[in-house]
Each structure stands twice: as structure tokens, then as C-alpha cells.
Structure 1
Amino acid sequence: MKTYVALLYSIILGERRRVVMADLKAMAEGIGLKNVRTLVATGNLVFEARTVKIPDLERRLEMAFEETFGRHVDIVVRGAEDWLKLAAGNPFPAESVDTADQVAVRVMRSPAPVEAVAALHSYAAEDEKVASVDGDIWLVFSRERPSSRLLAAASHKRMGIGTSRNWNTVRRLAEMVGSGQ
């Protein structure tokens, strides 16, 4: 058995309807995943499964999600070692200590296009930062403005399939997979 992290792109099912984490956990257990845990109510799963190709696991989860909740949602899966490597590769450690909720990583299914990441710099305000590490996109965004242009620019349409998590969530998921919780 191997430990995995799965991140849902969205848990919004429709007007005023969100996925309840207990239901998400039950869905994962229903397709044979073991030791399933969730983290916060934003669509984060940690579980164990037989060693399998990541794309196959993503498809299984997406099909089960659509069957259970009636809506397709992109799901990005990483093995525990890859998740720990992602967390260790945070290019903004100082900012993560000071403002962890303003540091985020867009975890990509496939590496983000180099030219698309380069274009993100034009959307960054003076106090915002962008970095690409192993195809994932790390951002430091500002809360000084009501809406960061940088966050909006790092979308599916421009970057490809991926989903963002702030440093607090990345760190807590790393703790979960690192300790085998």
C-alpha cells in the first residue's frame, strides 16, 4: 500500500451546495481506498491504495465523484514522496512564516507551460511573487487589494488542470503523509 494526496479543484456542486467531507470520505472508501482522511472542508484527501499509475487513480476518483455527486470535478493526485518534495521545495520560506495564507501553490496535473508561467509576472503587483518549481506554480499574493490579478491569471484556461492550496494546507498535508496519520 502507498499513501497518496488527492486535491479536488472544486467542491461546489451548485447554488448553495457544497461537498460534505464525510460524504467525500465515504465515496473514496466506496472505491476501495484505505485509511481515508480529509483535511479542512476544501477537498483534500489523504489515503492509501495499492501502487497504481497516478492518471488511473485520478480517473477513478473523478468517475466516482461524478457518479456520487452528479458533477465532474478535476482531481489532482500526488504520491506521498512527491507531496513531501513539493512542500520541501517551497521557494518562499520567509513569506510562508510571515503570511502563510498568502503563499499558495497551484498543483498541476501536468507541468505548467513555461511561457504561461513567465506571463504571470506581468499580473503580479509590486509585493507579489511567482515561481515555478517542478512544473507547479508558487505564488505570493497580496491582501492589500480586494482582488489579486495574479490569482485570477493562474487559471485552468491559462495554466492547464491544477488546483491551488495555501501554505497552511500544504504543510498540514505534508505532516499527515509524513507521519502516516
Structure 2
Amino acid sequence: MQTYVALLYSIILGEGRRVVMADLKSMAEELGLKNVRTLVATGNLVFEARTGEISKLEQRLEQTFEKTFGRHVDIIVRGAEDWLKLAASNPFPGESAEAGDQVAVRVMRERVPADAVEALQVHAGVDEKVLWVNGDIWLVFSRERPSSRLLAAANHKRFGVGTSRNWNTVRRLAEIVRGIGE
């Protein structure tokens, strides 16, 4: 068995309807996943499954989600080791310690080329930062401005399938992954 982290791009099903984490957990268990855990109400799963191709696991999760909830949602899966590497590669440890909700990573299904992130720099405010690390995009957002052009610019159209999680969520998912392995 292998531990995995799955991130849903969206849990909004329609006007006023969101996926309840207990229902998401039940869906995963019905799919045969073991030791399923959720984290906060934003579509994060940690579970165990037989070792296999991540793309096939993503497809199974997406198909089952659509059958269960009536809507397609992109789901990005990472193995435990890869998730722990992602968390350890945070290029903004100082900012993360000060304001973990202002640091985020856009976790990508397919690696983004390093030079593609340069295009995001034009959208960053003077107090915002963007870095490419191992195919994912790390961002530091401004506390001074209520909305950032940076987040909107790091979208599916520009970079492909991915989803963002703030540092607090990344760190807590890593803690869950470590706990399962103990």
C-alpha cells in the first residue's frame, strides 16, 4: 500500500452547494481507498491505495466524483514521498512562518517549464513573489491588497491543470502523511 494526497480543484457543485467532506470521504472509501482522511473543507484527501500509476488514480477519482456529485472536477494526486518533497521545497520559509495563509503553491498535474513562470512576474505586486520549484509554482501574496492579480494569472489556461493550496494546508497535509507512515 502507498499513501497518497489528492487535491480537488473545486468542491463547489453549483449555486449554494458544496461537497461535504464526510461525503467525499465516503466516496473515496466506496472506491476502495483505505485509511481515508480529509483536511479542512476545501477538498483535500489523504489515503492509502495499491501502488499504481498516478494518472489512472486521478482518472478513477475524477470519474467517481462526477458520478457521485454530478460534476467534473480536476483532481491532482501526489504520492506521499512527492508530497513531503513538495512541502520541504517551500522557497519562502520566512514568509510562511509569519503568514502561512499568504504563501501558496499551485500544485500542477504536469510540470510547468521553469521559464513559463517568468510571465507571472508582470502580475506580481511589489510585495509579492513568484518562484518555480520542481514544476510547481510558489507564490507569496500581499497582505496590503485584498485581491491579487497574481492568483488569477496562475490559471488553467496559462499553465494547465493545477490547484492552489496555502502553506498552512500544505504543512498540515504533510503532517498527516508522516502520521500515516509511522
Taking structure 1 as the reference length, the TM-score comes to: 0.98
- Counterpart-to-counterpart distance in 2, 1:98 and 1:143: 11
- Counterpart of 2:35 in structure 1 is 35
| Counterparts of 1:82 and 1:11, CA distance in 2 | 24
Aligned to 2:52: 52
Shift of 1:143: 2.4
Distance in 1, matches of 2:159 and 2:141, equals: 17
Residue 52 of structure 2 corresponds to residue 63 of structure 1: no
Distance in 2, matches of 1:90 and 1:167, equals 8
Counterpart of 1:122 in structure 2 is 122
Aligned residues: 181
Is this contact kept in 2: 1:113–1:159, CA < 8 A?
Answer: no
Measure the CA separation in 2 of the matches of 1:99 and 1:86. Answer: 18
TM-superposed CA distance for 1:115, in Å, is 3.7
Distance 1:116 1:149 in 2: 17
Deviations 1:150-172 (Å, cap 9, x if unpaired)?
11101111111000000000000
2:60 corresponds to 1:85: no
CA distance in 1, matches of 2:113, 2:62: 24
Contact 1:5–1:44 (8 Å) recurs in 2: yes
C-alpha displacement of 1:116: 2.8
Shift of 1:147: 1.0
Q: Secondary structure at the match of 2:28?
A: helix
Equivalent position SS for 1:180: helix
Residues 6, 44 of structure 1: 8 Å contact kept: yes
1:36-61 deviations in Å (ceiling 9; x for gaps)? 00000000000000001000000000
Q: 1:53-81: CA deviations, max 9, x gaps?
A: 00000000000000000000000000000
- The aligned residue for residue 22 of structure 2 is 22
For residues 153 and 179 of structure 1, what CA distance do their matches in structure 2 show?
A: 35
Which segments of structure 1 move beyond 6 Å, counting only runs of 4 or more? none
Q: Please say if 1:159 is aligned against 2:151.
A: no
> What is the rounded CA distance, in whole Å, between the counterparts of 2:143 and 2:22 in structure 1?
32
Percent of counterpart pairs with the same letter?
77
Cα separation, 2, equivalents of 1:166 and 1:60: 26
Unaligned 5+ runs, structure 2: none
Structure 2: distance between partners of 1:166 and 1:43 = 13
**Structure 2: how far apart are the matches of 1:89 and 1:113?**
17
- Structure 1 regions of 5+ residues with no counterpart? none
The superposition leaves residues 116-139 of structure 1 with CA deviations (integer Å, 9 ceiling, x where unpaired) of 311001100000000011000000
Aligned to 2:76: 76
Distance 1:171 1:38 in 2: 14
